Amino acid sequence: MFNNVMGLILADNKKISLGELSGPRALSAIPFGGRYRIIDFMLSNMVNSGVKNVGVLTYNKYKSLMDHLGTGAAWSLDRKNDGLHILPPYVNSEATNINGDEELAGVLDFLRTSRATYIIVAASNVVLNTTFDDMIRSHENSGADLTVMYNRDATKYGSPSYILDVDDDGFVKDMLYNPQKSSSNKCSLGIICLRRDMLVDIISKQMSHGLTHFGIHSMVKMFDEIKVHAYEYKGTALRINSVQGYFNSSMSLLDESVRNDLFWSGKPIYTKVKDEAPTLYFDNADVSDSIISDGCRIYGNVENSIIFRSVTISKNTTLKNCVVMQDVHISENCHLENVILDKNSFVRPGVRLVGHHDYPVVIGKGAGI
């Protein structure tokens, strides 16, 4: 465990849109895995690494995220010193007078209030379970200015993807964005490590050049100016870059090996706790190869699906390859296949919806069909 490390999580990504799913909320606040939000994984990784000072940088649509994170109590980050800091735009009084630089000014203000030596900066669209101890040791031993984490799945999960070209000593010599062809299968996970004071210098330089956006890969692109080292992650990592990526990542949780790597590796994934009664399975219910959360009432058939809390699946209704979020009501005599239902939506009696595995049907939050 390193006690001289702080963390920063980017709660959204302006290049990634999940359509109806990301419309009402930040990317990191999208529900995932039956009871979690996407941000729970990266925040838990920080906490499991001993990081006690974590900032969450938001752009917009952050109400749902703030409701979920609260004071940070679920991650033991509700503390007098350090703890969880949500950094919305206009985070301080000076930011309103910097001609659009409020995003960078907020990050700079957060960094200057800490005495940590290192900082881990992480994107919000990757689901994995790890600690950053080995990455920090690798960073120190390499003598690099910045270390970026990658794995070898290349463009498996679709765009946007940043492919790294690495030399024999493990240093980045090029980075390609969504290349049509590439000789490298090293794909950035959007997680970097560097000295806090160096990040302060980089952001100050960006602001002096009129740049207003804080991005992880904009710093990796500086490989011609600074030494950028690449650190390989060999565990399970799920990228959520699109609706299809979200659907495929959700379905992969039905694979026992993926589930074990993400949830049973000895490092807990924390989330906001909601106490619910156990799920009720009625006489004619038939459930197979599915993840079912608490508080559901199941009368019908469920196969290869992820069901969140407090979902009702009525009689003579069949779900196959579906992701059903919290407080959804599905009426009788329905057939849903390859469908994502967002929170508080409802399905009227007799509805038949069949999507393709590569193009699932998405029903937005609170919608009725």
State the average pLDDT over residues 117-142. 94
For 180-193, write each residue's pLDDT tens digit.
Answer: 777 788 999 999 99
Asked if 177 contacts 220 with a C-beta cutoff of 8 angstroms, the reply is no
What counts of helices (H) and strands (E) characterise the chain?
Answer: 8, 28
- Residue 184's pLDDT is 81
- Residue 158's pLDDT is 53
- What length does the chain have? 369
Rounded CA separation 314/98 (Å): 55
Tell me what percent of the residues of the chain surpass a pLDDT of 90.
67
- Residue 88's pLDDT is 79
pLDDT surpasses 70 at 297:
yes
pLDDT surpasses 50 at 26:
yes
Which range is most confident: 78-87, 105-114, 311-320? Answer: 311-320
pLDDT surpasses 80 at 49:
yes
Model confidence at 97, in pLDDT bands (50, 70, 90)?
very low
The amino acid occupying position 152 is R
Is residue 24 reached through a cis peptide bond, with omega within 30 degrees of 0 on the bond before it?
A: no
Helix then strand then coil, % of the chain, to nearest 5: 25, 30, 45
What's the whole-number average pLDDT of the chain? 89
pLDDT surpasses 50 at 94:
no
Q: Which domains does the chain have, with CATH numbers?
A: 5-263 (3.90.550.10), 280-363 (2.160.10.10)
Query: Which pairing describes strands 361-363 and 83-87: parallel, antiparallel, or unpaired?
Result: unpaired
pLDDT surpasses 60 at 296:
yes
Handedness of CA 187, 190, 195, 198 (dihedral sign): positive
The model scores a pTM over 0.85:
yes
- Compare 214 and 89 and report the one with higher pLDDT: 214
State the average pLDDT over residues 126-136. 95
Model confidence at 79, in pLDDT bands (50, 70, 90)?
confident
